[in-house]
Structure 1
Amino acid sequence: MSNKFATFKMLSGYSIPLTGLGTYLIEGDDVLKTLDKALAVGYRAFDTAAMYGNEKDIGSALKELLPKHNLNREDIFIQTKLNPSDHGNVAKTALEKSLKNLQCGYLDLYLIHWPGSYTVSSRSEENLKLRTASWATLVEAKEAGLVRSLGVSNYIPRHLNQLLSNCYGVKPVLNQMEWHPGCYDNELKQLCDKEGILLQAYMPLGGNGNLSLLRDNVVTSVAKQLGKTPAQVLLRWCLQQNVAVIPKGRSMEHLKDNLETDFIIPESDMKLLNNIDKVRFDWNPYSVL
């Protein structure tokens, strides 16, 4: 089965494509152009966030493009995230605003973007109270039919265990993390696997420019040996460990290539990739209480 159709059945009973399109920094006219190409080559899952500032553009684009590609709302998977400034009792209102911007009737998945709140210090114990309140009000939104599934992003084992101990009867179905050979946490992976929570990798290709893992000697060597692109190797590294991916892409070539991950990386090469120098390109959630 082609990877573009591979899915994972989440704890909520709904399925999510294992490869989706990340839309961070895709704005304005680029949204319509990129989503048009993505739908044409087979993407059916799209990731955004309130703080990306592109929810309205994505909503308008999908409203125009779904009929063009003979698709209905039920054929695609839309996920977005709570702005870290909107933790607490206002979380449901924030979700409703995202839903209005995206013009999609319901959200497939809504994530708490960050375990901390921008309204308090990352070292404040108030963060736990605020994210717990956020979850409580998001559960209400789920019960009201506004969102089908709830998840989190940037939750390390401590944050996840706290949530699981007080989740108001609704466990998170997914945890989105920076995840690539230079940045992964075996303890977190084991916890998610044990609890049935899907890990989803953002920035699965690493950083940009000369710092990108696409230029790493180990990655390029494995890619050459397998006859694949460095990007395909990095995405397959995740998928081979049952970690979903949401790579970005704008060109038709990159969008197509990022779906072509139906191959196996030999265990010896997986070990080489696992031992790449560790580097984090984005937020560090380990500093948040």
Structure 2
Amino acid sequence: MITSLQDTIKLNNGVEMPAMGLGVFQVENDTTAEIVKNAIELGYRSIDTAAIYGNEAGVGEGIKLALASTGLNREDLFITSKVWNAGLNYEETVSAYEESLGKLGLDYLDLYLIHWPGQNKFAESWTALEDLYQEGKIRAIGVCNFNISHLQDLLKTARVTPVINQVEFHPRLQQRSLRAFCKEHNIQLEAWAPLMQGGLLEDTTIAKIAEKYGKSNSQVILRWDIQNEVITIPKSVRKERMAQNADIFDFSLTDEEMQIINAMNLDKRVGPDPEVFDF
């Protein structure tokens, strides 16, 4: 049962990951430090970045500032980054990991992900992640934007099962077949663009539910994520919005309300389709 911002979900390797965190996609590096510091001071413990975002250094500085201001330890935080598709052979992946670690100013990552599958480019990269994991340099490894076919190919040769598949997930794209496959293989689903990049903030169906609880559309959607046992990492640059997004643990959606939101699925993406999009 997830009842607070610090509550965790146990991944398939036993590592505990916060059920909710902060994403920093499209956040400028020179503003990232203050945003990350604010988030950690508000109680966020999970921060999700990526090499391609260009803000790992800012995330690292924000972590350093927050640890100084809060008295927390590095071990209290859960930091995720991702290898970009320009570096998916074995040596490139190891080098990309070390570069990310250096920019973040950290000794290890809690989670490292392959950002996109490309056209079956990920085999060598996954082997590199497995080795880094088994050497104790990463606490957990996973993937992003993998459809069922990608996961099936990966699992044929994988020595380590991914702990996470981070994918676009929101009421208009509910990924039901993929969620079922991940559940069958004990791979935790994590949502990026949980608010459909703002596309659902004025939705009237969700607004009716939100009005009942005195909440915003974003709070209802994030609560729906949590009750679906999907890890969620909404992006926000404003401290008050981060606080609002986190204020979702004092109410629960009824089964009927969950079904109303479930019925909104249109299999509609705001990002690329991994099946056809090659980076």
TM range (shorter): over 0.9
Q: How many residues align?
A: 274
1:179 pairs, out of 155, 169, 178, with 169
Q: What one-letter code is carried by the residue in structure 2 that aligns with 1:161?
A: Q
CA contact (8 A) 1:115 1:288 kept: no
Structure 2 Cα separation of the partners of residues 288 and 28 of structure 1: 27
The question of 1:18 aligning with 2:19 is answered: yes
The question of 1:272 aligning with 2:263 is answered: no
Structure 2 unpaired stretches of 5+: none
Task: Tell me how far 1:25 sits from its aligned partner.
Answer: 1.6
Structure 2 Cα separation of the partners of residues 59 and 80 of structure 1: 11
SS of equivalent to 1:105: coil
Structure 1 Cα separation of the partners of residues 252 and 182 of structure 2: 23
Structure 1 Cα separation of the partners of residues 5 and 62 of structure 2: 21
Q: Deviations for 1:6-64, whole angstroms, at most 9, x for unmatched residues? A: 10111122110000000112223321221221111100100000000001111122123
CA contact (8 A) 1:20 1:245 kept: yes
The question of 1:247 aligning with 2:249 is answered: no
Structure 1 Cα separation of the partners of residues 53 and 47 of structure 2: 13
Structure 1 Cα separation of the partners of residues 239 and 64 of structure 2: 21
The question of 1:148 aligning with 2:150 is answered: no
CA contact (8 A) 1:80 1:111 kept: yes
The question of 1:132 aligning with 2:123 is answered: yes
CA contact (8 A) 2:6 2:18 kept: yes
Query: Sequence identity of aligned pairs in percent?
Result: 36
Q: What one-letter code is carried by the residue in structure 1 that aligns with 2:211?
A: K
Structure 1 Cα separation of the partners of residues 277 and 25 of structure 2: 23
Q: What one-letter code is carried by the residue in structure 1 that aligns with 2:134?
A: E
What is the TM-score of this pair, normalised by structure 2?
A: 0.94
Q: What one-letter code is carried by the residue in structure 2 that aligns with 1:131?
A: F
Q: What one-letter code is carried by the residue in structure 2 that aligns with 1:30?
A: T
CA contact (8 A) 2:111 2:142 kept: yes
CA contact (8 A) 2:190 2:230 kept: yes
Structure 2 Cα separation of the partners of residues 184 and 2 of structure 1: 23
Q: What one-letter code is carried by the residue in structure 2 that aligns with 1:154?
A: N
What is the TM-score of this pair, normalised by structure 1?
A: 0.91
Structure 1 unpaired stretches of 5+: 117-126
Give the structure 1 partner of residue 40 of structure 2. Answer: 39
The question of 1:205 aligning with 2:205 is answered: no
Give the structure 2 partner of residue 161 of structure 1. Answer: 152
SS of equivalent to 1:254: helix
Give the structure 2 partner of residue 111 of structure 1. Answer: 113
Q: Deviations for 1:55-79, whole angstroms, at most 9, x for unmatched residues? A: 1111122123212210111010100
Task: Tell me how far 1:142 sits from its aligned partner.
Answer: 1.3
Task: Tell me how far 1:288 sits from its aligned partner.
Answer: 5.2
SS of equivalent to 1:199: strand
CA contact (8 A) 1:183 1:280 kept: yes
Report the more deviating stretch, 224-233 or 59-68: 59-68
Structure 1 Cα separation of the partners of residues 168 and 12 of structure 2: 22
Structure 2 Cα separation of the partners of residues 178 and 75 of structure 1: 27
Q: What one-letter code is carried by the residue in structure 2 that aligns with 1:220?
A: A
Report the more deviating stretch, 192-201 or 1-10: 1-10
Q: Deviations for 1:64-102, whole angstroms, at most 9, x for unmatched residues? A: 321221011101010000101111221111111111111
The question of 1:232 aligning with 2:222 is answered: no
SS of equivalent to 1:147: coil
Task: Tell me how far 1:144 sits from its aligned partner.
Answer: 2.2
1:284 pairs, out of 257, 261, 273, with 273
Q: What one-letter code is carried by the residue in structure 1 that aligns with 2:110?
A: D
Give the structure 2 partner of residue 28 of structure 1. Answer: 29
SS of equivalent to 1:200: strand
Task: Tell me how far 1:275 sits from its aligned partner.
Answer: 2.2
2:186 pairs, out of 180, 196, 211, with 196
Structure 2 Cα separation of the partners of residues 143 and 224 of structure 1: 49
SS of equivalent to 1:213: coil
Q: What one-letter code is carried by the residue in structure 1 that aligns with 2:39?
A: A
